[in-house]
Amino acid sequence: MRPSTIIKVFVLLFFAVTCVVVPNSFAQQKAITLKVTNWFPVGAKHDTILQEWGKELEKRTNGKVKVNYYPAGTLVPAAQSYDAVVKGIADVGNHVLGYTMGRFPFSQVLDLPIGWPENGDGTKIANDFYKKFKPKELDDVKILLFHSQPGGYLHTKTRPVNKLEDAKGLKLRCFGSNAKFVGLIGAAPVAMPMPDVYDALSKGVVDGLMSSYEALYNFRTGEHVKYSTENKTTAYSATFVVMMNKKKFASLPADVQVTIDKMSEEYIVKYAKLWADITAEGKDWLVKRGDKIITLSKEEEARWYEKGSKPLVEQYIKDTNAKGMPGDEAVKFLMNALRK
């Protein structure tokens, strides 16, 4: 074979190998992109923790995964977060179950006003609840974790609420199960997501709100609040779910899936601490602004439960049991967990 022919053959072989190897190598190096949506305001701790989750995932996968993070509802509004993840508009999202009332009839028990604690314990309870019951209503997403707001109380602009009768006629911002609670105690429920509440308070659309101390601080709604009634026996929780599009998760390499599952367990602990810290910080901020904290007597607490919470618990059990769901077991599980 002549030298010129040998050179031509070598060049052709080199070209053929390059065509196969370079694209494969490029494909291996190309990062997997995840779109993560959150609606908390920029700089709030609930904003930074999910942003941190994305950066941690990038780090642990050695750049195999790239996270594009969208804060403050810039990709998806708060109430649409769950559907956006189901449809693939976002790959990962943070949703409040109570913002889509009726969508999660069994898990709705996590929002009932049955005395949620003023610390991070609710987050552990919510995750234990999911692991025990695995509600089918959440099967259209990959659940990463739940986190729960500490006990939410009644806060007002101008009228202190020292007893049940003082709440009559007040227009109170609420959502989910606590909207029914507001109506049962004689006030007028005005349902809306938290990002809309500041303007509603400033313009007099509402006279107050049902809220944790955390939200009064994070969303600055506490700037319009003068009285906080700690109805501890009937405190509600807002339960959040951080979830991923099911098809997107299934498409990920096995090692990335394992990493995400491991991180989910770790972030349950982180979210619990975050809730405890921010609630204490929010309450301290509010008191320094001159907010008056009102404590109810045991007798008054019992009246609020009998009037507002008991009918909701009984209706929940009736509705879920009628649909073949173990509502009575769910309530018993939560009552025992909250007592502990």
Q: What is the pLDDT of residue 340?
A: 83
Its domain, for residue 16, covers: 1-29
pLDDT in tens, 274-296: 999 999 999 999 999 999 999 99
- The answer to whether position 188 is within a domain reads yes
Cβ-based neighbours of 194, under 8 Å, separated by 6 or more: 78, 211, 215, 219, 221
Q: How far are the Cα atoms of 173, 180, 211, 230 from residue 304, in angstroms, in the given order?
A: 18, 13, 17, 11
- The answer to whether position 72 is within a domain reads no
The secondary structure of 172-218 as a DSSP string is EEE-THHHHHHHHTT-EEEE--GGGHHHHHHTTS-SEEEE-HHHHHH
pLDDT at 136 over 90: yes
Q: What is the pLDDT of residue 49?
A: 98
pLDDT at 319 over 90: yes
- The answer to whether position 1 is within a domain reads yes
What CA dihedral angle connects 207, 211, 216 and 221, to 10 degrees?
-30
Percent of the chain with pLDDT over 70: 91
pLDDT at 23 over 50: no
Q: Are residues 159 and 25 in the same domain?
A: no
Neighbour tally for 280: CB within 10 Å = 15
Q: What is the pLDDT of residue 9?
A: 44
Residue 185 identity (one-letter amino acid): I
Instruction: Kindly state the average pLDDT of the residues 246-261.
Output: 98
Q: How confident is the model at residue 176 (pLDDT cuts 50, 70, 90)?
A: confident
Residue 221 identity (one-letter amino acid): T
pLDDT in tens, 100-123: 989 999 999 999 999 999 999 999
Overall domain count for the chain: 2
CA geometry: angle 127, 129, 133, nearest 5 deg? 125
pTM (2 decimals)?
Answer: 0.87
- The answer to whether position 97 is within a domain reads no
Q: What is the pLDDT of residue 25?
A: 42
- The answer to whether position 218 is within a domain reads yes
CB 319 within 8 A of CB 327: yes
More confidently predicted of 262 and 29 = 262
pLDDT at 18 over 80: no
CA geometry: angle 248, 250, 253, nearest 5 deg? 100
Q: What is the pLDDT of residue 1?
A: 53
pLDDT in tens, 3-16: 455 545 444 544 44
Q: How far apart are CA 112 and CA 132, in angstroms?
A: 18
Q: What is the mean pLDDT of the chain?
A: 92
Cβ-based neighbours of 22, under 8 Å, separated by 6 or more: none
- The answer to whether position 77 is within a domain reads no
Q: How confident is the model at residue 28 (pLDDT cuts 50, 70, 90)?
A: low
- The answer to whether position 246 is within a domain reads no
- The answer to whether position 44 is within a domain reads no
pLDDT in tens, 179-210: 999 999 999 999 998 999 999 999 999 999 99
Q: How far are the Cα atoms of 57, 72, 245, 255, 265 from residue 41, in angstroms, in the given order?
A: 22, 5, 23, 32, 25
- CATH code of 219's domain: 3.40.190.170
